[in-house]
Structure 1
Amino acid sequence: MLLIDSWYTAYRPKLQAIACHFGYSLQEAEDIVHQFFLDLLQKNLPDAIQNPEAWLVTAFKRRLIDLHRIQQRRGNYREIESFYLPSAQEIIEKLETDAELINHIAAAFKKLPARFRRVIYMKYYQGYSTEKIVALTGLTHQTIYNNLSKGIQHLRQHLKKDTALERLVNFMLCLVP
């Protein structure tokens, strides 16, 4: 039971986001996730689950597919066209106007080593191509690639540590009216 409680705490937002992505409203997604974990409590789970996140996501997606089939059989099925899924552009615009998120990313960016900050700034903020960065800095293509890759990896690690940001991102994924 403690294992499932910890899974519920850790993976509930992600599973809700998946349900929202499948076209369910936020309230429906919450209900489906709650029922999913209640059903898990009643089952004998395998003892050797190596990767609980992958196992839960797969089982949850299968549950969503089963629910979809049941709704189709009962005639309660709503056409996918009736669901509003925000476009990538709309999501990007909402994320760009979120001051808390922008400040958090800026703070994470400032914590990067100077060599990573410099290359990321030139590539993504100034819009320079890799060739232009090579010409301006005198670094090799491989060094620029490595700095970009490692800098982005550091940003992801820093941003992943903040659970409030993770909850915010999962909520943004559930933007269904």
Structure 2
Amino acid sequence: MAESLDMIFWQRITQGDYQAFNAIYDRYWNILLAIALKKVGDKELAMDIVQDLFIDIWQKRHSIQVQTSLRSYLTSALYFKVFMHFRRQGVQQKHIDQYHLLLETQECGEHFTSARYEESYETLLHAIQQSVHDMPQRMKEVFQLKYYRSLNNQEIAENLGLSTQTVKNQLSKGLQQIRRHMEAERMDTSMLSLIGIFLLFH
């Protein structure tokens, strides 16, 4: 029911209905803020990121294609916002080695200009959503708790009665499945590699 209402609101938003936009803003602000706060550890910064996300959503409402649920789209879009923040900051110190190693081994740094990011953004979101839908049930549960609810590996393990190593394995396999989907569709997977670091190590 909530998803159906969201899509009604979204249709109105694409037609320029600011009241519908405010309704979505009120519905998801706290959820998105909680996720952003977990990732960046600073409330003021988290608020700025979520605010920027909603500004982008309003400005690009005519071109955005919501493929599954609006909540999933907003959560995915927030992940990219936070990811791009880390990239601009050079990535947090505890992740800098993985980040640099990836750039050296895959030579993909030039892919992440603003123009490149905008070009592949919608395609990658769609690929992730499609792949999660097709995952085996346990993998899907793990990936959804990580990706959409932003739980850490220990929290996921406790929720599902798994070991943290099993959680890591399922997340890694989930990313491999997304990669296979993208490769089958001949999509650019370079951004997925860096998103993988963000998902697995934050």
Q: Which bin holds the TM-score, normalised by the shorter protein? A: 0.3 to 0.5
Per the normalisation by structure 1, the TM-score is 0.39
Larger radius of gyration: 1
- Per the normalisation by structure 2, the TM-score is 0.34
